[in-house]
Amino acid sequence: MSQLNPTAPATVAPVSIPVRELAPWALFAALLAVVVTYFVGAEQGAFSLISGSDVHEWVHDGRHLLGFPCH
Amino acid sequence: MNARSFLINGLIAGLLGGLIAFVVAIGVGEPAIDDAIALEESAAAPAETEAHSHAEGEEEGHTHSHGDEEEGGITRGQQAGPGLATATGLIGVILGGLVGIAAAFAAGRFGRLSPVATTALVAGAGFVAVVLVPWLKYPPNPPAVGSGDTIGERTALYFGFLAISVLAVLAAVIIARQVLASRSAWTATAVAGAVYLAVVGIATLVMAPIDEVPDSFPANTLFEFRVGSLLTQASLWLVLGVVLTGLVHRAWTREAADVARREAAAAL
C-alpha cells in the first residue's frame, strides 16, 4: 500500500517541456508584457499614443514606485 | 506539468504579488511621494501666479500637474488608490506570466534540480536582473526630480539597461549549461555569476549616468522614496516567487505521485 501512494517527488526525474511547445506561449506572454509595460511605464511620458495625460496621471504613483522614469 | 499550468500559476502568483505590492507601496512609498509633490507645488507656486494662463503647464520641466488643480483631472486620491493598484496589479500579472513561462523553460534543464528548485531560481534571478541591478544603476526618482526635456533619453537608458541585464542572465545561463556538461555545478554557478556581473558591470561603466536631483531636494525624502520603491518591487517579486514555487511544488508532487502510481500498477 505504501508503494501505491508514494509522495516523494525525488524518485521521478524532472522532464523538460519541449521548446516547440513553449514557444507560442512565450511569444504571446512577451507581446502582452510589452504592451502592458508600455502603458504603465512609458505612455504619455517619453511616448504618447493617446492625447492628454490621463493614462500618465492614473498610473502616476505606480510608475514612480515601480522604478520607471517619470516626468 | 505543461506550459499552460506554468502560465496560469504564474499569473495567479503575479496578481497576488501585485496586490501585496500595492499595500506595501501605500505604507512605504506614498508618504515620500506626498512629500515630494508638496515640494514641487510650493516650488511651482510663484511661477504660476505670475503666468497664470498656462493651461498645460508647459514651462521649465513642470510638464504635468498632480491632479488637484487640473479641471476634470485625476485626483491624488485616485493616483494613490485605484491608480496605484492598477499599475502594481497589471505589472504583477504580466511579470507573473513571464516568470511562469521562464520557469517552464527552466524545469528539467538545470542538471538534476527539481522544477520546484528551478522555479525558485528563476524568480530570484528575475528579481536581481529586473529590479535590483537596474535600481542600482538608474535609481527611481520621486516627483519634482527630473527634467521633462530628458524623459526620452532617460526612458531609453532605463529600458536599454533593463534589456542588457535580462539578456546577461540568459547569456550566463546558456554558458553555465555548457560548463555543467564537463565541470561541477559549483563551477557552472560561479561562471554564470561572473558572466552576469561582467556584462552589467561594463554596461554600468559605459552607459551615461542620470543625475537630475536638484541640490535643494531633501536627501531624506529622496532616500525614503528610493527605499520605498525597492521595497514595493521586492514585495511583488517575493510574493510572486514564493506563491509560484508553492504552486509548482503542488503540481510536481501530484505528477510525481501519479507517475509512481502508474509504475507500481505496471509492476504488478
Closest Cβ–Cβ partner in B6, B98, B146 for A69 = B146
Chain A residue with minimum CA distance to B227: A65
CA gap A65, A63 in Å, rounded:
6
CA gap B53, B36 in Å, rounded:
24
B159 in a structural domain:
no
B23 contacts on A by Cβ (under 8 Å): none
* Min distance A50 CA to chain B CA atoms (Å): 15
Chain A residue with minimum CA distance to B140: A67
Q: Which domain holds residue B76?
A: 3-147+212-267
A15 contacts on B by Cβ (under 8 Å): 107-108
Residue B18 has pLDDT above 50, yes or no: yes
A6 contacts on B by Cβ (under 8 Å): 256-257, 260-261, 264
pLDDT of residue B5: 94
Terminal Cα-to-Cα distance of chain B (whole angstroms): 26
B76 in a structural domain:
yes
pLDDT in tens, A10-65: 456 667 999 999 999 999 999 999 999 999 998 888 888 888 888 999 999 999 99
B84 contacts on A by Cβ (under 8 Å): 59, 61-62, 65
Backbone angles phi, psi at B165, to 5 degrees: -60, -45
B154 in a structural domain:
no
pLDDT of residue B52: 43
Q: What is the ipTM of this complex?
A: 0.84
Q: Which neighbouring-strand residues pair with A43?
A: A47
B114 contacts on A by Cβ (under 8 Å): 9-10, 14
Contact at CB, B79 and A58, closer than 8 angstroms: yes
Cβ contacts from A onto B, under 8 A: 199
B197 in a structural domain:
no
Given the C-alpha cell 505590492, which residue does it identify?
A: B21
pLDDT of residue B46: 64
Chain A residue with minimum CA distance to B73: A54
* Rounded percentage of chain B residues whose pLDDT exceeds 90: 75
Radius of gyration of chain A (CA): 22
pLDDT of residue B40: 84
B194 in a structural domain:
no
B43 in a structural domain:
yes
pLDDT in tens, B180-224: 999 999 999 999 999 999 999 999 999 999 988 999 899 999 999
Q: What is the pTM of this model?
A: 0.87
pLDDT in tens, B64-106: 555 444 445 888 888 989 999 999 999 999 999 999 999 999 9
* Rounded percentage of chain B residues whose pLDDT exceeds 70: 90
Return mean pLDDT, chain B. Answer: 89
Report which residue type is found at B2: N
B204 in a structural domain:
no
How many structural domains comprise chain B? 1
Residue B111 has pLDDT above 50, yes or no: yes
B259 in a structural domain:
yes
